[in-house]
Amino acid sequence: MNNTDIPTASALTPGAPVPVGHRRRSKGLRDKHLKFLLLLPAIVLVGATAIGPLFSGLYLAFRDWNLSKSSASKPLWTLSEDGWGNISYLFDNFSRALSDSALQNSIWVTVVFTVLSVVISIGLALGIALLLGRGTRSRVLVRTLLILPFAMSPALVGISWRFMVSPQFGIFHAVFKDVWPWLAGIDWLADPVLAFAVLIASDVWHWTPYMAMLLLGGLASVPKETQEAAEIDGANSWQVFRDVTLPALMPVLVVAAILKAIFSLKMFDQVFMITSGGPGQATQTLAYFIYVQGFKYYDMSYAAAVSYFLVIPMLVLAFIYIRLVFKRP
């Protein structure tokens, strides 16, 4: 420790100059307190709109509340009436969820949808980013056009795609009747596989531009000197991409994939507008299943319990995302 960091008697007398180390510590404390004060409104807002409902839903998951039977929830288990021997009653909603075949189907649909949507979206976004990164004259126009699908609300995307695949007056019917007539009369939403494909296509169309913009920013940070050195050494375009560009872009790719996975897990609007979970339960995602339990069957406590099958993986992904984004170099 330097002598200048230790306050002397002269430094404590009125009018004496404040030591440099003491001034730095005081300024650091003021800056730290200012940061917390600036973040306080955001912390309060997040707590009121996100953390609060999470705990409220968890509380409701351990109660019995069906709006068609009662306007208020009641406990599933009480010590005075049921005793410690029947404490398993407290977990009735979760026990029911573990044996619910419709829930298992929704989880499977959500997993398949998320994997396919992430892989296709990131793959297309990477290709678009590589094309736009070459510096063509039209890239400003193309970037502007890329924003348009992402600027549309998910509900509007769902309505648009529902009209596009309509077998009577959709654009698919108008195009296919002249090019591939045998495809013109297909009812896309009546077939489980085709309906699922339409759902994935709408989601990919909506999110790929956003992912492309993220990857385009990542490509801008890849050192041009390294790429040029590889080309001078005789590497072709594929080798430069595989050995130089892709490894440098991998952190951005991982972040983009995690973000897309979070968006896909909570997929609801397009399911509601395009397929309503059908035909049957072929496109019923977990988010839509929760909606059906809560707002069709009015089983609010069961819907709250099932929602944690969605909340927990999203929290894990959000934690990984935060660790990657704010990781110190």
* Residue with more model confidence, 59 or 146: 59
Does any domain span residue 265?
A: yes
CATH of the domain at 246: 1.10.3720.10
Q: For residue 130, which of 243, 252, 215, 250 has the smallest C-alpha distance?
A: 215
| pLDDT tens, position by position, 70-124 | 888 888 888 888 888 888 888 999 999 999 999 999 999 999 999 999 999 999 9
* Residue with more model confidence, 136 or 177: 177
Let me know whether 194 and 321 are in one domain. Answer: yes
Does any domain span residue 82?
A: no
Domain boundary (28, 46, 61) is at 61
- Residues 312, 318, 321, CA angle at the centre, nearest 5°? 145
What is the number of structural domains in the chain?
2
Let me know whether 10 and 140 are in one domain. Answer: no
Does any domain span residue 254?
A: yes
pLDDT of residue 27: 54
* Residue with more model confidence, 181 or 280: 280
- Between 246-265 and 101-132, two packed helices, what is the crossing angle to 10 degrees? 140
pLDDT of residue 172: 76
Show the domain range for 275.
103-325
Cα torsion 275, 281, 286, 287: sign: positive
pLDDT of residue 11: 47
CA 186 remoteness from chain centre = 33
Cis amide linkage into residue 279, ω under 30° from 0: yes
Let me know whether 22 and 166 are in one domain. Answer: no
Buried b / exposed e along 185-203 (16+ C-beta atoms within 10 A): ebebbeeeebbbebbbbbb
Does any domain span residue 70?
A: no
| pTM above threshold 0.85 | no
Instruction: Please check whether residue 308 is in contact with residue 252, taking contact to mean a CB–CB distance below 8 angstroms.
Output: no
Instruction: Please check whether residue 301 is in contact with residue 64, taking contact to mean a CB–CB distance below 8 angstroms.
Output: yes
- Ramachandran sector of residue 40 (left: φ over 0; alpha: ψ -120 to 50; beta: rest): alpha
Domain boundary (33, 61, 89) is at 61
- Output the CA–CA distances (angstroms, integers) from residue 200 to 116, 154, 211, 234, in the order listed: 8, 13, 15, 40
Let me know whether 218 and 136 are in one domain. Answer: yes
Q: How confident is the model at residue 4 (pLDDT cuts 50, 70, 90)?
A: very low
Let me know whether 172 and 242 are in one domain. Answer: yes
Q: Is 325 exposed, middle or buried (0-12, 13-18, 19+ CB in 10 A)?
A: exposed
Does any domain span residue 24?
A: yes
Q: How confident is the model at residue 187 (pLDDT cuts 50, 70, 90)?
A: confident
Q: For residue 283, which of 175, 158, 168 has the smallest C-alpha distance?
A: 158
* Residue with more model confidence, 238 or 19: 238
Let me know whether 120 and 220 are in one domain. Answer: yes
Instruction: Please check whether residue 290 is in contact with residue 310, taking contact to mean a CB–CB distance below 8 angstroms.
Output: yes
Q: How confident is the model at residue 290 (pLDDT cuts 50, 70, 90)?
A: very high
| pLDDT tens, position by position, 18-57 | 454 555 555 555 666 777 788 788 888 877 888 888 888 8
pLDDT of residue 28: 53
Let me know whether 155 and 26 are in one domain. Answer: no
Let me know whether 129 and 43 are in one domain. Answer: no
Dist CA 96 CA 55 (whole Å): 21
